[in-house]
Structure 1
Amino acid sequence: MSRPRKRRAPTGRGRLRERFWERVPLREMDPAEWEALCDGCGKCCLNKLEDPDTREIALTRISCRLLDDATCRCAHYEERKQFVPECVVLTPKNIDQIAYWMPATCAYRLLAEGKPLHDWHPLVSGTPDSVHRAGVSVRGWTIPEFEVPEDEWEDHIIEEPT
């Protein structure tokens, strides 16, 4: 069986560096490489509840108002802070402080913790749909945040799809 082709995308340098996620520290990735780490699962756009004592994070099936449930992508990614001021923008500078908050399967968190990407990650599999085929995305089962009062979010806690 042949090895799947790796996803390539234009960057300021022309293309993503070959298997950059295995060789380049998060803080040294260029913007295109940083963005390419996103697997498109949509779990970062689920509203979370944090225990103030333990800092334990619980995912809910309640999604940010900007999440497109069909694509698992932000409908207004570039302007998201204008619509959702509390949206956390993950950067190489803040990943160490907020990695615990990211989903356990998140490439940013995995790499920050010194772990490899999963086989279903689009950079490894060569196809963006692999995250959905593996059943780790939120495609088709979220509830928009405006449909559930915040004091009922605890009723919608889920186990993270891994």
Structure 2
Amino acid sequence: MSDEAIPWWNAKPLEALSPEEWELLCDGCGRCCLHKLRDPDDGSLAFTAVACRLLDSETIRCRDYARRHARVPDCVRLTPQVVREADWLPPTCAYRLRAEGKALPWWHPLVSGDPASVVRAGVSVRGRIVPEREAEALEDHVVAWPGRWPKAAKRTEGAARVVLRRRASSV
């Protein structure tokens, strides 16, 4: 494959992305918007199903993206350096994958051309979250799935298309 055939999102290092390209790299899964807990004794990380108060549970988009850092002071601004140092980004995160030198998976909207592929692959948090205002204690909502690759997301592109066609024809 020649360099010209490699898409920009796989060819460019994170530092070389324009602000627009940086934003396009986000797959919109919402996993980074889930609260995480860090054990003070051993530093281990636990994901929760509790979403940031600004995450819209239907669209899985921030309700106030432009002012999110002012409204939620502990909202982390992702930069190439933060991405490389953060152990809390899910393994499916496009920023993390690119920082590790890996290509984007078949279900990423830049690859598939379809934002709904993130939902079909089981990567999106849609339908799996607890709104922050409804969660009394974060410890009561610890889950493992945000730190794992969903089975459907692990499939190759061709296998995923076959599975999706079978599902569509059985409906």
Tell me how far 1:97 sits from its aligned partner: 2.0
Matches within 5 A, 1:123-142: 123-142=110-129
Task: Please tell me whether the aligned partners of residues 103 and 160 of structure 1 are also in contact (alpha carbons under 8 angstroms).
Answer: no
Q: Is 2:63 aligned against 1:75?
A: yes
Tell me how far 1:53 sits from its aligned partner: 4.8
Query: What's the CA shift string for 1:78-130, capped at 9, x where partnerless?
Result: 110121011001012422222x2111100001111122211101111111111
Q: Is 2:76 aligned against 1:88?
A: yes
Match of 1:111 among 72, 92, 98: 98
SS of residue matched to 1:68: coil
How much identity, in percent, do the aligned residues show?
A: 55
Q: Is 2:155 aligned against 1:148?
A: no
Task: Please tell me whether the aligned partners of residues 60 and 153 of structure 1 are also in contact (alpha carbons under 8 angstroms).
Answer: yes
Q: TM-score, normalised by structure 2?
A: 0.77
C-alpha RMSD over aligned residues = 1.5
Tell me whether 28-37 or 139-148 shows the greater mean CA deviation. Answer: 139-148
Task: Please tell me whether the aligned partners of residues 51 and 129 of structure 2 are also in contact (alpha carbons under 8 angstroms).
Answer: yes
Larger Rg: 2
Aligned length: 142
Partner amino acid for 2:121?
A: A
Q: TM-score, normalised by structure 1?
A: 0.81
Tell me whether 28-37 or 137-146 shows the greater mean CA deviation. Answer: 137-146
SS of residue matched to 2:145: coil
C-alpha distance in structure 1 between counterparts of 2:52 and 2:35, whole Å: 6
Aligned position for 1:45:
33
Q: Where do 4+ consecutive residues of structure 1 move more than 3 Å?
A: 52-56
SS of residue matched to 1:60: strand
Partner amino acid for 2:134?
A: E
Aligned position for 1:26:
14
Query: What's the CA shift string for 1:22-73, capped at 9, x where partnerless?
Result: 1100011111111111001011100011234554322111000000011111
